A and B are shown apart, each in its own frame.
Chain A
Amino acid sequence: MNGSEIFGAWIAVFLTLGIFSYLYKDNPFYKIAEHVFVGVSAGYWMAMAFWTQVQPNLFGRLWPKPEGEISGFLMKAWYGIYNFFGIILPSVFPDGGIDKGHGHDPHFLYLLPFALGIMMLLSVSAKLSWLARLGIAYTVGMAAGLRAYAFLNSNVLGQIKGSAVSFVDMPFFSLTGVSVFNNLIILVGTITGLLYFYFSKEHTGNFGKVTRVGIYFLMISFGASFGFAVMGRISLLIGRFTDLITYGTPTYNYASIWVLVLMIVLLTVWTIKGDKKATG
């Protein structure tokens, strides 16, 4: 195990136990871990977004590596701009052009998303923040168009198809397979559940009785969701504890044990000092 791994394990244990210390009460260890998380994740996502999207897909299309010699005044000027950027940021703009499999000719159309993106960044300034609306409008329109079809097709039509259940050639009741009773439950549950969300008519009388049945099915579904949520969280907790146990072994110089003891001692001191301050 090399030094950076062991050092990393100690950092990981400190941060993990720092977050868990919130279970005792809000304390400096938790605040440290929380603020480090905020800072590191902002930087992490920024780096990921840049190196996986902006550099290969935007700059890689605006300035792809040309096949041979650059000819023509426009292209020479265009790649002249690139070379200038390359002097300032050689890591982002390597020599010659960016080769990310987008051909060898610049896609000038991509100047539009570049401009929209820069406008979006301008929203930090109060005076120019309205420019961000253009980029936001594009993303909203794009998402609306994509999602409208996809959700209608798979979530509505696909599900309606799935609700069109059969009642022939099957037993009346089966716990494990298809049956008339099971299919009836699904059909009735889906329709009454949907009717519950129809708020244009008051839920009274016979309609109220039907929607009542709908709520019961929804409650069963929410109960199942609750069960799965508990299951998921406990699984993640098992994962964390497994890591803490691994980091408590001699290979990592008993990191978990040392850090835990240290934290308990320091938190005890901090609590006693806090109590004295409150009473004194």
Chain B
Amino acid sequence: MFMKRQLPIAIAATIGFLTLFGWFVEEPSIKSFVDDDATQWFDILASFAMFLGALNLLKMQAMKVIRQSRGWQYAALAIAGFSFSFIAGFVMLGAYNVEVTEFGGSTGVATVLANEINQDLQSTRNILSAVPAGDAYIIDSPYFTEGGAESVVEQIVAAGGTAEIHPAEWGAHIATRGSLFNWMFRFIFTPLSATMFALLAFFVASASYRAFKIRNFEATLLLISGIIIMLGRVPIGGHISAWFIMYIVVLSLVAGVNTWLKNRTYTLVALVVGLLGVTIAGFITGWPVDQPSIFFLPVLQDWIYNNPNVAGARAIMIGIGLGIFASSIRYILGIEKSYIGE
């Protein structure tokens, strides 16, 4: 019982206190533990949590396949996808660099290389002649398989040159350009993750059309603020004349007068006065696009962005900061025990 309940709480409390007071304590060993080791342990445990997530995923998908439940074929695909990335990450290095140490002085090596680097013969010869004496030329893109790299080396040797294979180090292979892992990252992982995010653009547009309704004053404020930011922050906002915005403001005020006073005469008078006023002012000033600047979208957007928007965002940030501080203290003092399932 102690191991299952009190020990986790004691660990959380001890580590929490140590980390918190590590900000204030100058004692070298504590400071070194808090600054270096404690956060490394955190990252290591986070990595194990990642492994756990992958294992759970495999377990779930495998159960679907074994039970042949609905859509099991897709679960098999998920397992296949995982297997491919596992192989690229742990089994198949997929990053064999070919280093040409001697060019043989003939066009033979250049011809072989031209084929590998997809350049014409003359460009390849120019590249080789630019290599400083004594240095080797490394083919830009590594080879996925050792066999592939060996075949190129054989061709270079046959053409009178010398070449070596330098496989990337395990670990560095995940960051090596052109490796199998990098290929998977560029052509499978990236398009999928980027497209998932980009898909939301369509749903945001659809939701804005169908659900974004002005039901009350707060929703109106949200809408107007959103529209001003959306239009003011892009180049087209600078082409919308301030006078156009003034006309819209006049019409909105007239609508407000109509709703408030519910009198047709007053509404008509307000409309005529407002429109005439703006038109006359426009003719007098010559309809400059960016004046009066309070109605010019980029300037208005900037003001909203730097003032009321910051006020609201700051209130939320302070609230979140206080909330995080309070809940952190609760975890450290052992009051909050949700992480052990209580």
Which chain A residues have a beta carbon within 8 Å of chain B's beta carbons? 1-2, 4, 8-9, 11-13, 15-16, 19-20, 22-23, 31-58, 91-92, 94, 109-110, 112-114, 116-118, 120-121, 123-124, 130, 132-149, 151-152, 154-156, 159-160, 162-163, 175-176, 182, 185-194, 196-197, 214-231, 233-234, 236-237, 239-240, 243
Contact = CB atoms under 8 A, between A and B. Distances in A.
12 contacts: A19-B195, A35-B74, A110-B44, A137-B7, A139-B45, A145-B15, A151-B325, A182-B306, A189-B310, A217-B308, A224-B226, A230-B208
Given A42-B82, A43-B84, A151-B324, A182 B307 contact: yes
Interface of A is mostly: helix
A43 B86 contact: yes
Given A159-B314, A240-B194, A142 B78 contact: no
Please tell me the size bucket of the interface on B: 35 or more
B184 to A, nearest CB: 7
Given A151-B328, A159-B317, A220-B225, 13 more contacts: A15-B195, A31-B74, A39-B77, A44-B89, A57-B44, A120-B49, A138-B45, A141-B19, A144-B328, A185-B307, A188-B311, A216-B217, A230-B230
Contacts of B324: 147-148, 151, 155
A2 to B, nearest CB: 6
Contact of A149 (B23, B85, B93): B23
B170 A94 contact: yes
A240 B200 CA distance: 12
A143 B339 CA distance: 13
A42 B53 contact: yes
B238 to A, nearest CB: 15
Nearest to B79: A39
A267 to B, nearest CB: 17
Interface in B1-19: 3-4, 7-9, 11-19
B171 A51 contact: yes
B269 interface: no
Contact of A4 (B174, B183, B191): B183
Contacts of A149: 20, 23
Nearest 3 pairs of A and B residues by beta carbon: A189-B311, A145-B19, A221-B312
A130 B2 CA distance: 12
Interface string B140-171: 01001000000000000000000000000011
A32 B16 CA distance: 44
A156 B82 contact: no
Contact of A130 (B4, B55, B88): B4
Contact of A42 (B54, B204, B307, B339): B54
A231 to B, nearest CB: 7
Interface string B68-96: 00010011011111111110111001000
Interface string B187-227: 11111111111111110110010000000011101111111
Nearest to A4: B183
A175 B308 CA distance: 12
Contacts of B191: 12-13, 15-16, 240, 243
Given A156-B318, A186-B307, A223 B85 contact: no
Scoring B194, B222, B234 by chain A CB atoms within 10 A of each residue's CB, the highest score goes to B222
B244 interface: no
Interface stretch (B124-132, B273-281, B296-304): B296-304
Nearest to B172: A51
Contacts of B293: 175
B31 to A, nearest CB: 13
Given A142-B38, A233-B197, A224 B304 contact: yes
Contact of A175 (B74, B80, B294, B319): B294
A92 B91 CA distance: 11
B59 interface: yes
Given A54-B47, A159-B314, A33 B222 contact: no
